[in-house]
Amino acid sequence: MSFSNFLDALRGAPFYRGQIVHVQQIPGREASYDELTYPLEPELAEALHRSGITRLYTHQAQAVNAARAGAHVTIVTATASGKTLCYNLPVLDAVLRDASTRALYIFPTKALAQDQLGKLNAFGLFPAVRFATYDGDTPQNERRAIRNGAHIVLTNPDMLHVGILPCHAAWRTFLSCLRFVVLDEIHTYRGVFGAHVAQVLRRLRRLCAFYGADPQFLCCSATIANPEELTCKLTGVEHLTLVEKNGAAAGPRTFVFWNPPVIDPALGVRRSAHVEAANLFANLVVNQVRNITFTRARKSAELVLRYACDAFRQNAYDGLVQRVMSYRGGYTAQDRRRIEKDLFEGRLIGVTATNALELGVDVGGLDATVLTGYPGTISSTWQQAGRAGRQGKAALSILIALDNPLDQFLMRHPHYLFERPHERGIVDTDNRRILGRHLLCAAYERALSVEDLVLFGPEALTALHALEAEGDLVREGRYWRYAASDYPASRVNIRSASENNYSILEITPKGERLLGFVESDVAFKVLHEGAIYLHLGETYRVEQLSIREQTAYVRHCEVDYYTEPMEHSNMVVRYAYQQRELGNTMAYFGEVFVASQVVAYRKKRLFTDEVLEICDLDLPPQTFETEAFWFTVPHDVTHALVQQDLDLAGSIHAVEHATIGMMPLLATCDRWDLGGVSNPDHPDTRLPTIFIYDAYPGGVGIAENTFNNLEELLRVTRDVIAECPCAEGCPSCVQSPKCGTSNSPLDKQGARRLLELLFSTTGA
Nearest to 488 by CA among 465, 466, 467: 467
Rounded to the nearest 10 degrees, the angle between the axes of helix 648-662 and helix 405-412 is 70
pLDDT reported for residue 762: 42
Residue 377 confidence class, pLDDT cut points 50, 70, 90: confident
DSSP string, 187-212: GG--HHHHHHHHHHHHHHHHHHHHTT
Q: Which residue has the higher pLDDT, 498 or 508?
A: 508
Instruction: Summarize the confidence of residues 131-150 as an average pLDDT.
Output: 94
Torsion 752-755-761-763 (CA) sign? positive
pLDDT reported for residue 363: 62
**Cβ pair 542, 553 in contact under 8 A:** yes
Beta bridge partners, 690, equal 631, 678
Residues sharing a CB contact under 8 Å with residue 674, sequence separation 6 or more, in sequence order: 660, 663, 692, 693, 694, 695, 702
Q: What is the CATH number of domain 3-27+250-419?
A: 3.40.50.300
C-alpha to C-alpha distance for 529 and 519, rounded to whole angstroms: 16
pLDDT reported for residue 190: 82
- pLDDT, tens digit, for every residue of 53-93? 999 999 999 999 999 999 999 999 887 788 999 999 999 99
- pLDDT, tens digit, for every residue of 597-633? 999 999 988 878 888 999 999 999 989 899 999 999 9
Buried b (16+ CB within 10 A) or exposed e, 209-225: eebebebbbbbbbbbbe
- pLDDT, tens digit, for every residue of 689-702? 999 999 888 887 88
Residue 358 confidence class, pLDDT cut points 50, 70, 90: low
Residue 188 confidence class, pLDDT cut points 50, 70, 90: confident
Q: Which of 22-31, 332-341, 499-508 has the lowest mean pLDDT?
A: 332-341
Q: What is the CATH number of domain 501-559?
A: 2.40.240
Instruction: Summarize the confidence of residues 521-530 as an average pLDDT.
Output: 91
**Cβ pair 231, 217 in contact under 8 A:** yes
The reported pTM is 0.77
Residues sharing a CB contact under 8 Å with residue 12, sequence separation 6 or more, in sequence order: none
Nearest to 443 by CA among 216, 171, 199, 160: 199
C-alpha to C-alpha distance for 203 and 218, rounded to whole angstroms: 18
Instruction: Summarize the confidence of residues 490-515 as an average pLDDT.
Output: 83
Name the average pLDDT for the chain. Answer: 90
Percent of the chain as helix, strand, coil, to the nearest 5:
40, 25, 35
Please report, for the chain, how many H helices and E strands are present, in that order: 25, 32
C-alpha to C-alpha distance for 85 and 51, rounded to whole angstroms: 12
Nearest to 137 by CA among 363, 332, 338: 332
- pLDDT, tens digit, for every residue of 550-592? 999 999 998 989 898 988 888 999 999 999 999 999 999 999 9
Long-range contact list for 620-624, CB < 8 A, 24+ apart? 620/547, 621/595, 621/596, 621/597, 622/521, 622/524, 622/595, 622/596, 622/597, 623/593, 623/594, 623/595, 623/596, 624/497, 624/593, 624/594, 624/596, 624/696, 624/697, 624/698
- For 547-617, list the strands marked E by DSSP: 551-556, 561-582, 585-605, 611-616
Residue 537 confidence class, pLDDT cut points 50, 70, 90: low
- In which element (H, E) is residue 154 found? strand 152-155
pLDDT reported for residue 1: 58
The architecture CATH gives domain 33-243 = 3-Layer(aba) Sandwich (3.40)
pLDDT reported for residue 29: 87
- In which element (H, E) is residue 26 found? strand 20-26
Three-class secondary structure of residue 353 per DSSP: strand
C-alpha to C-alpha distance for 137 and 141, rounded to whole angstroms: 12
DSSP string, 231-285: HHHHH--S--EEE------B--EEEEEE-PPEEETTTTEE--HHHHHHHHHHHHH
Residues sharing a CB contact under 8 Å with residue 57, sequence separation 6 or more, in sequence order: 31, 32, 33, 34, 81, 82, 246, 247, 248
- pLDDT, tens digit, for every residue of 442-458? 999 999 998 999 999 99
